[in-house]
């Protein structure tokens, strides 16, 4: 292999020619593109340029083959289908949650045939209607102008939640499929979880990531628009404060926030991050 300089000041260094050469796909008729006619003329006139062009076409053909033959991991299709199924189940769950739940106060029933309605009932209905209307307005406002939180907001709130004892006990049943733990943290068998009523106004689930050695840790999974998060947890915590190490990242519509008691070492132990391409 040689250093294939084709003249430092020759046509090969002309950006227009270089870009045109690079734009031609291997095995294509791109050279017949009228906008590349000048290149065809140059190639016909300069044997060394033509030779470089031919070599580049072959190199590009090889690289294209490498791009198209990347191995695909085993079981990918099943994992995709499982995630789609989980998303459908979550949507169905959300739809049913939007209906009246047993915890919500029952709306007064319509009064049968011409019976007089008491003033108290009327006031209750009016009050409930006013509350519903204001909730609807708030929801519409939220819909039209969604709040975009920052990574710092998320980290600080996660630490607050981590530090505040929850009155809800950990659950040991199957966790909600639409809020799965991130594959970028270590897998915990029979992981415990609980719903977080509100995380920056969004739905969330907390997973207990505490280790057998006694290090307390929680992974929050939130459906919330957050600006500027990466798609993987950093190897060092993004925020270390008050004896807590934390970072946030996102995957699709989900934001993950890991809070670990202690310093970076305990935090790193909980990561399951493969960096760089593995063929």
Partner 1 sequence: MVDDRAAMDIAQLVAEHHQAVYRYAYWLAGSIPDAEDLTQQVFLVAQQKLEQLRAPEAARGWLFAILRNAFLKSRQRHGPLLAENSKLDIESIPEEVPGHEEIDRERLGQALAELSAEHRLVVTMFYYEDCSYRQIAERLELPIGTVMSRLARAKGHLRTRLFELQRRQDTRREQSAAK
Note the residues at the interface with partner 1 (CB under 8 A): 1-6, 12-13, 15, 18-23, 25, 28, 30, 33, 35, 52, 55-56, 58-60, 62-70, 72-73, 76-77, 79-81, 83-85, 87-88, 183-184, 227-228, 230-232, 250-252, 273-279
Residue 35 burial (10 A CB sphere; 0-12, 13-18, 19+) = exposed
Give least dist CB 177 to partner 1, A. 13
State phi, psi for 274 to the nearest 5 degrees: -95, 120
Measured N-to-C along each axis, helices 47-68 and 15-23 cross at an angle, to the nearest 10 degrees, of 40
Give least dist CB 270 to partner 1, A. 15
Give least dist CB 86 to partner 1, A. 10
Q: Which is nearer to partner 1, 185 or 239 (CB)?
A: 185
Q: Which is nearer to partner 1, 17 or 161 (CB)?
A: 17
Q: Which is nearer to partner 1, 230 or 241 (CB)?
A: 230
Give least dist CB 170 to partner 1, A. 27
Q: Which is nearer to partner 1, 83 or 195 (CB)?
A: 83
Question: Structure tokens of 134?
Answer: 């204001």
What are the DSSP calls for the chain, one per residue?
A: -------TTSGGG-HHHHHHHHHSPTTS-GGGSGGGHHHHHHHHH-HHHHHHHHHHHHHHHHHHHHHHT----TTHHHHHHHHHHHHHHHHHHHHHHHSPPTTSPPPPPPPPTTPPPPHHHHHHHHHHHHHHHHHHHHHHHHHHS---EEHHHHHHHHHHHHHSPPSSPPB-SPPPTTSPPPTTB---TT--EEEEEEETTEEEEEEE---TTS--EEEEEEE--EET--SS--SS-SEEETTEEEEEEEETTEEEEEEEESSHHHHHHTB----S---
Q: Which is nearer to partner 1, 213 or 277 (CB)?
A: 277
Give least dist CB 73 to partner 1, A. 6
Q: Which is nearer to partner 1, 17 or 204 (CB)?
A: 17
Q: Which is nearer to partner 1, 141 or 227 (CB)?
A: 227
Q: Nearest-CA neighbor of 170 among 143, 139, 149, 194?
A: 194
Give least dist CB 18 to partner 1, A. 6
Q: Which is nearer to partner 1, 154 or 161 (CB)?
A: 154
Give least dist CB 25 to partner 1, A. 6
Give least dist CB 55 to partner 1, A. 5
């Amino acid at each position: 292999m040689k250093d294939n300089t084709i003249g430092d000041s020759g046509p090969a260094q002309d950006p227009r020619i270089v870009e045109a050469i690079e734009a031609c796909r291997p095995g294509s008729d791109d050279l017949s593109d009228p906008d590349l006619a000048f290149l065809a003329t140059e190639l016909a006139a300069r044997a060394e340029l033509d030779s470089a062009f031919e070599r580049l076409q072959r190199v590009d053909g090889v690289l294209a083959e490498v791009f198209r033959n990347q191995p695909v991991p085993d079981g990918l299709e099943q994992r995709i289908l499982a995630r789609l199924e989980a998303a459908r189940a979550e949507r169905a769950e959300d739809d049913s949650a939007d209906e009246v739940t047993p915890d919500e106060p029952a709306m007064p029933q319509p009064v049968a045939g011409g019976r007089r309605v008491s003033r108290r009932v009327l006031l209750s209905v009016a009050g409930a209607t006013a509350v519903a209307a204001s909730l609807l307005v708030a929801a519409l406002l939220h819909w039209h102008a969604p709040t975009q939180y920052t990574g710092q907001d998320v980290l600080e709130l996660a630490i607050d939640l981590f530090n505040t004892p929850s009155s809800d006990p950990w659950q040991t049943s199957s966790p909600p499929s639409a809020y799965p733990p991130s594959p970028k943290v270590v897998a915990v068998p029979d992981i415990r979880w609980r719903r977080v009523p509100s995380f920056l106004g969004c739905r969330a689930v907390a997973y207990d990531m505490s280790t057998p050695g006694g290090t307390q840790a929680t992974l929050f999974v939130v459906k919330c628009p957050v600006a500027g998060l990466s798609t993987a947890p950093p190897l060092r915590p993004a925020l270390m404060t008050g004896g807590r190490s934390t970072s946030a990242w996102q995957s699709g519509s989900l934001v993950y926030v890991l809070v670990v008691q202690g310093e970076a070492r305990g935090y790193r132990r909980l990561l399951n991050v493969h960096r760089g391409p593995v063929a």
